[in-house]
């Protein structure tokens, strides 16, 4: 079954025929909210809002382990996550949508593994390719079919938040090879890998990163809001096409 994790600006899926909502109890506490089960284009899908239905949970406060565990417990084996980012690379201006193929983790203090109990064996998972090539291909196919362009590839820098970055920090991230910056890409991706869930991320760019483009002298939230509304409509079109193409 396909799961969709919605980020900032995507707390529900349009045109989703909802069949039920269920709050899942997990060994890691409560997830961000109930799972929403439904059908889209005749295909089954499960949706979860990462920040809660009212967008009240900050990036560092998300219970990522509970979220992924809840989805896995209900039979989700593929996840397409939506995560808004700031664009570092010149090609990633506000309103573009990227499909990253690599990630660098700068977060700290987050529960980032299921293998941290003393009564469990130490497990080292391969994370060379953090995003599933098959799901990335499905997203690219949906891009062509829907006419919503995707930038194929990029390096997601996962920052702690909730504050935004300094211009100097963005310069460092660029030197490290990052092309976009966000706050929710990790540990979500690695927890999915530990549960053997295939995972890909669609990243709408809602602002230039600090010190870049229109953000050279600061980031204006009113501008982000306008871009977010417009870009999320395109993201919904992409997601709907991904769901319709997905093999249950």
| Residue ranges of the binding site for phosphate | 8, 50-51, 184
| Residue stretches of the annotated binding site | 8, 50-51, 183-184, 207-209
Q: Which residues are documented as binding site for substrate?
A: 183, 207-209
Place of tokens 């799901």: 135
> Given the DSSP bridges, would you call strands 78-82 and 102-105 parallel, antiparallel or unpaired?
unpaired
- Residue 186: closest CA among 160, 165, 204, 168: 160
Angstrom distance (rounded) from CA 133 to CA 247: 15
Distance from C-alpha of 141 to C-alpha of 242, rounded to nearest angstrom? 8
Residue pair 1/74 in contact (Cβ under 8 Å)? The answer is yes
Do 103 and 130 touch, CB atoms closer than 8 A?
Answer: yes
Q: How far apart are CA 28 and CA 80, in angstroms?
A: 22
241: CB partners within 8 A, 6+ apart: 141, 142, 145, 146
CA distances (Å), origin 169, targets 106, 149, 211, 226: 11, 29, 10, 26
DSSP 8-state code for residue 166: P
The DSSP secondary structure of 176-196, one letter per residue, reads: HT-SEEESSSTTHHHHHHHTT
């Amino acid at each position: 079954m396909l799961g969709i994790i919605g980020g900032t600006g995507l707390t529900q899926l349009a045109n989703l025929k909802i069949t039920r909502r269920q709050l899942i109890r997990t060994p890691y506490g409560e997830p961000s909210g109930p799972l929403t089960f439904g059908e889209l284009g005749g295909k089954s899908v499960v949706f979860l809002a990462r920040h809660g239905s009212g967008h009240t949970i900050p990036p560092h406060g998300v219970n990522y382990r509970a979220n992924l565990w809840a989805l896995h417990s209900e039979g989700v084996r593929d996840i397409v996550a939506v995560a808004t980012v700031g664009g570092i690379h010149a090609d990633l201006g506000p309103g573009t949508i990227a499909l990253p193929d690599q990630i660098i983790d700068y977060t700290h203090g987050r529960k980032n593994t299921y293998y941290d109990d003393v009564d469990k064996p130490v497990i080292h998972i391969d994370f060379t390719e953090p995003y599933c090539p098959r799901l990335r291909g499905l997203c690219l196919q949906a891009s062509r079919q829907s006419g919503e362009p995707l930038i194929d590839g990029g390096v997601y820098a996962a920052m702690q938040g909730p504050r935004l970055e300094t211009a100097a920090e963005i310069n460092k991230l660029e030197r490290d090879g990052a092309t976009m910056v966000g706050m929710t890409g990790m540990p979500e991706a690695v927890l999915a890998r530990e549960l053997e869930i295939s995972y890909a991320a669609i990243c709408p760019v809602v602002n230039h990163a600090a010190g870049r483009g229109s953000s050279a002298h600061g980031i204006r939230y009113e501008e982000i809001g306008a871009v977010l509304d417009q870009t999320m409509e395109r993201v919904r079109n992409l997601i709907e096409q991904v769901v319709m193409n997905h093999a249950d």
